[in-house]
Amino acid sequence: MRPATSAADRRPLLHSRLALLLAFAFAVMADPVSSVAYAIEAALRALDGDVALLGATMGLVVAIIALVILNYRQLVGRYPQGGGASAAVGEAFGDGWSFLPIGALVVDFVLTIAISVSAGASAVIAYFPALAPWRLPLALALIVVVGSLTWFGHLGRLVFAAMTIAFVAVAALVLGYGLFAEPHTVGTVTAAAGQPPVLAVVLAFPVAMALATGVEAPSSAIAQLGQLDDPDRARFGRVTLWLTLGIVGAITLGLTLEAVRLGVGIPPEDSTQIAELARIAAPAPVFAAFQLVTALLLLSAASSSFQAGPGLLKALALHTTRRGETVGILPGALGRTDADHTPYWGVALFILLAGAITGAAGGNDQELVLFYAVSVFLSFLAGLVSMAVFSHRDRRPWSLALNIAGALVVSFTLAANLTRGLPIISLAAAVLIAGMLYTAWTRAGRPRGVRNAESESEREEDSLA
């Protein structure tokens, strides 16, 4: 019989659990929180500067994120050891289909790096406008710097958590000052979006769904929590999903409503919308701090993808297990690591891919927003359709209704962005990568376990922390 644990003994345990939860949650939500830097502006550009419709548009975006999170809450409960959409698709339709969300994730990681460093460069330029002619070289340099730093060891989740908390704190300060600021029209503001209001909002919100990127992260990142049992991992994942919704939703709607009240429109080329908002709402030192934490958070999001992307390829690369078995479907070079356990060829590959995409976009984050939303929503769709299959098999009508509603909304968002033309490149890239991985898998004899590649890569990352 186990001895009873006293209240005094339980306090340190509760405190350590709380510290672990906060570190995990704020590190994982770095990506969606950083997306605030460009998603609101993307919606306003899609509205042709009609600030009056911006609140309704971003409100719809946050509502859809809530719907996706409700569905992913089920997914976390089903896969408490991690795995995300790839595990769900593999179970629902077979391992071969797992490569579809995996391909989408690879594209998502590359685009996260490209858009994050581009938005980081925009944040720097908004404070130092003289650097505007050097936008592309600055963005490319940031890719090389962030990627190279990854070669010297992984940043811990505490660093990402600290960057997220710093941004949230300074953003709250900007919002506080903005309550007392006088309206001051900045940038391009129009009186009409060119379509009836409802249609304008429906056409604009898919562009801003880049804000949803990273929402799926807790479903796979819980694999890092090896010190917890399955129920606790699921609990951490669900709490992180709700915290993400609360924090991302509050900051997004707060900055949106403040932009509407103050009249902050489409910014000039050497600035961003949230930078102009902070400039007119807060004192100069707070504006400087806001630009600093924005840039650092964006670079943290890029660094996170420099870890996750090569880590995923490493999990799929040929390697020998502790049992002496040779497993994997990709070239072994992608699994080679340096003294700091970094898969250096994978990092080099992501530097090249992100650099090429950034160069094609001219270092402009607003050019990349549409492409970004497509890749992650393909992964969302695969995960939600799989969860609908499970709900049907388990005869859970309410869960099935929620899964179907989520899948329909995600499908509409994906289709709406694809109708804009060029974003189909993201879809094509994800499908192409999935096809290449499937071909490699069949040539390797269709080994089992590929559906768990995402969770395996997360476990490897944690074991090195």
Residue 17 included in any domain: no
Residue 14 included in any domain: no
Which residue blocks in 267-343 are alpha helix, DSSP H?
A: 273-281, 284-316
CA 245, 404, 368, 200 torsion-angle sign:
negative
Per-residue pLDDT tens over the stretch 288-314: 999 999 999 999 999 888 988 888 898
Residue 346 included in any domain: yes
Residue type, 9: D
pLDDT at 153: 57
Q: Can you say how many angstroms the Cα of residue 277 is from the centroid of all Cα atoms in its chain?
A: 24
Residue 10 included in any domain: no
Q: How confident is the model at residue 8 (pLDDT cuts 50, 70, 90)?
A: very low
Cα–Cα dist 439/360, whole Å: 29
Looking from the CA of 242 toward its CB, the CA atoms found within 13 Å total 8
pLDDT at 458: 66
pLDDT at 11: 53
pLDDT at 294: 96
Domain span holding position 162:
25-463
Q: What is the DSSP-derived secondary structure letter of residue 228?
A: S
- Stated as kind and residue range, the H or E segment containing 327 is strand 326-327
Residue 98: which residues within 8 A CB-CB, separation 6 or more?
A: 86, 87, 89, 90, 450, 451, 453
The answer to whether 86 and 453 are in contact (CB under 8 A) is: yes
Per-residue pLDDT tens over the stretch 149-197: 877 655 556 778 888 999 999 999 999 999 999 988 888 888 776 788 8
Residue 31: which residues within 8 A CB-CB, separation 6 or more?
A: 112, 213, 214, 217, 301, 304, 305
Cα–Cα dist 287/309, whole Å: 33
The answer to whether 423 and 417 are in contact (CB under 8 A) is: yes
pLDDT at 464: 36
**Beta pairing, strands 319-320 & 326-327:** antiparallel
- Distances in Å between the Cα of 450 and the Cα atoms of 82, 96, 262, 311, 456 are 13, 8, 51, 14, 9
Residue 31 included in any domain: yes
Residue 13 included in any domain: no
Q: What is the token pair recorded at 137?
A: 């070289």
Per-residue pLDDT tens over the stretch 20-45: 888 888 888 888 899 999 999 999 99
The answer to whether 139 and 363 are in contact (CB under 8 A) is: yes
Residue 86 has pLDDT above 50, yes or no: yes
The CA-to-CA distance between both ends of the chain, in Å, stands at 35
Q: Which of 247, 264, 200, 258 lies closest to 60, judged by CA?
A: 200
Query: For the residues 367-374, what does the mean pLDDT come to?
Result: 86
CA-based R_g, the chain, Å: 22
Residue 3 included in any domain: no
What does the mean pLDDT of the chain come to?
Answer: 88
Residue type, 177: Y
Residue 12 included in any domain: no
Cα–Cα dist 91/85, whole Å: 10
Residue 252's CATH number: 1.20.1740.10
The answer to whether 122 and 276 are in contact (CB under 8 A) is: no
Predicted model pTM: 0.91
Cα–Cα dist 38/165, whole Å: 18
Per-residue pLDDT tens over the stretch 408-428: 999 999 999 998 888 899 999
Per-residue pLDDT tens over the stretch 110-133: 999 999 999 999 999 999 999 999
- Please state the domain count of the chain: 1
